Structure 1
Amino acid sequence: MMMSLRAAARSAPRTLSRLSSTAVRQSRVAQPSSLLKSSWTPLRSPQLASAFSTSQFRRAPETEVDEELSVKLESELQFEGEMKEAEELPASVKDFLENSPFELKDVAGKEDVSLVRTFGNETITITFSISDLANYNPDEFNEDAALGDEELDSPDGKVRGSQGAPENEDEGEFDEEAEPGVPSRLNIVIEKEGKGALNIEAQAQEGHIIVENFYYFQDPKLAHSSTAELAHSAQDVYPGPPFGSLDEDLQLLMERYLEERGVTSALALFVPDYIDIKEQREYQAWLKNVKDFVDA
């Protein structure tokens, strides 16, 4: 994936021995995405702090650290710019933007991105966030995946994973380089005037849409949960049973219902790649803003 290549390039040592931007992001406080309900948002991780002595700074001239920091920020900006110039727009993003019925709504400086379209008498809004990159912990995700992929004995005697596919019996080595992409959370809202809204929580990963929850709200505002008050009100509404506990035929029909409205594998490929593009763009803007502040 493009994100993996970029992360590797950022973490590689360079002549100026700059801090990798991946490490910088990991040290930030994980910000929960505003598009997800409180039941979905991960716990806010403790802010990481580094101990240091202030005596060395007191002996330095007032502007010395400012100048060094400005130079470092400039080197980061130059590096990110070179990476951007070397990359081509992924086919998944180009094809989706050219052929999808969705309108992209992306506001500079904001973490959340929305896709909006009409489908008959419905208004469909799909929201995702670059905060998933900051909150992503590959170790925790791999543990969850391992718990979900407990091996089951099938009637034919072959070992099957959670998706029911036989495992390769000849596979004797684990491919350490094959890592799953960052799961991108989707908040899908389908509204009909006067009829309320469906709110679907799903994940886009490895070209697949994985539905996790399927809610109905009489008040469409609760489906968007754009404020803490609305999110709290939504928690008081019966959400329906867990999607995985529904009858399998019902699950399949609901998935086809979403696919008919554009929640397809093309969307599942587009979202993670676009998140990566937006993250780089926002990171460059952040670097520039900090540098302008330090230089002022």
Structure 2
Amino acid sequence: MLSLRAFARAAPRATARFASYSTRTTLRPSIQTTTAALRSPTIQLPRCFSTTFPRLDDAAQELAAKLNQEIQIESEENSTPADSNENIQLFLSQNDHWKLHDDSNNQEVLLTRKYEDEDITVSFSIIDFNTPMMEEGQQNEMDDDDALMDEDDGGLESAQSGGANTKGAINQGRTSGGNMKVAPEDSLAPADREELKNQEDEEVGEEGQPAFPANVNVLIQRKSKGALRINLVADTGVFTIQSVTHLPDSKTTSAKSASELIRDESPTLYTGPPFQQLDEEVQSLLEQYLDVRGINTALALFVPEYIDVKEQKEYTGWLQRVKGFVE
């Protein structure tokens, strides 16, 4: 879905550039001939200089016309409400404990709610929509590099015992960032693998297009106790925890908004070990802890759909604002 939309946006521009180049190439000989005729040794043309410029040049006119054409195309393609709009409205109506904060011309979206004595903020951004996905060839190259790193570090890792290296599953490989990755088959029983596969097939949808991964940040604040900041990835209706960080209570922390605390990545603050290295029971209980607070499958499905809809609205608004500026 994402690649098709990007291709649809890029194709008209490529065609327009080619047509413009062909026109310039065709007209160039006649222009050169006319110029040569004017440069006769017996004719001297006066040079004229002007300090006044037209308010709207040809380039601006062409750009404004093209932007207007793009706006019309986007309006026609989105004249019929998509299923995503219905799913979004259904989620908001069934989960009225969440309050949506969405400002136009802003990439970040917030969801807030109260749970007992906690203030919970969920943050995500449409920037994930415009981030190009890694090509298969690039992924294979990274996998080869990871395998090579595993061979180089094999002797050292086998000699270590205890500590973080003993946490998590048995088949682990080091990622390019230095974290440990766990093979999916290590954390699933054989009987559960087929069930999970069937569940993922159902979540993909009729068109065979799975939801794209979206980064989600959750901030859980408690008075005089600081906050927990949890980094997750929402993909095909499942939240995967990346890290859990405790932000201690302080005057600086109390003075910042939830959005600022989510974006504040202090390089000296300990972010905890990679989630996959934690004891499996700790992982399960942390996931249950979030599920009780509404960080569940319904929200994991809602976030990518909302990003898709919001990105389209922001793109149309961006076209209109740029057109209004240049015309």
Give the TM-score, by structure 2 length: 0.62
Shift of 1:178: 5.3
Q: CA deviation at 1:224?
A: 4.8
Cα distance in 2, alignment partners of residues 223 and 205 from structure 1: 27
- From 170, 180, 187, the equivalent of 2:217 is 187
Displacement after TM superposition at 1:212 (Å): 0.6
Separation in structure 2 between the aligned mates of residue 244 and residue 180 of structure 1, nearest angstrom? 24
Matched, 1:264 2:259: no
Partner of 2:64: 70
- Equivalent position of 1:123 in the other structure: 119
Q: Output the CA distance in 2 between the equivalents of 1:4 and 1:117.
A: 34
1:97 aligns with 2:92: yes
> 2:213 is aligned with what amino acid?
P
Shift of 1:223: 9.4
Could you list the per-position Cα deviations for residues 86-114 of structure 1 after superposition, in whole angstroms to 9, with x for gaps in the alignment? Answer: 33242431221111121000011111000
Distance 1:207 1:107, change over 3 A: same
Task: Please show how residues 1-296 of structure 1 align to structure 2 within 5 Å.
Answer: 3=2, 6-7=5-6, 9-10=8-9, 17=15, 63-90=57-84, 91-100=86-95, 101-139=97-135, 143=139, 147=143, 161=185, 164=188, 165=193, 180-219=210-249, 220=253, 224=258, 226=260, 231=264, 234-295=266-327
Per-residue deviation at 1:142? 7.6
Whole-angstrom CA distance in 1 between matches of 2:300 and 2:65 = 39
Relative to structure 1, the CA distance from residue 160 to residue 285 in structure 2 (aligned partners, 3 Å threshold; closer, same or farther) is closer
Q: Structure 1 residue 69: deviation in Å?
A: 1.0
Give the aligned CA root-mean-square deviation in angstroms: 3.8
Could you report, residue by residue, the CA deviation over 1:141-186 in whole angstroms, capped at 9, with x for unpaired residues? Answer: 98289949x9x999xxxx9746643699xxxxxxxx9565321001
1 or 2, which has the higher helix percentage?
2
Change (3 A) 1:244 1:144: farther
Q: How many angstroms apart in 1 are the aligned matches of 2:141 and 2:113? A: 33
Paired AA for residue 226 in structure 1: E
Residues in 2 aligned to 1:145 and 1:277: alpha-carbon distance in whole angstroms: 33
Residues 122, 219 of structure 2: 8 Å contact kept: yes
TM-score by length of 1: 0.68
Instruction: Please tell me the residue identity of whatever aligns with 2:111.
Output: L
Aligned CA distance change for structure 1 residues 205 and 111 (closer, same or farther; 3 Å): same
5+ unaligned residues in a row in structure 2: which ranges? 18-27, 29-53, 148-168, 172-182, 198-206
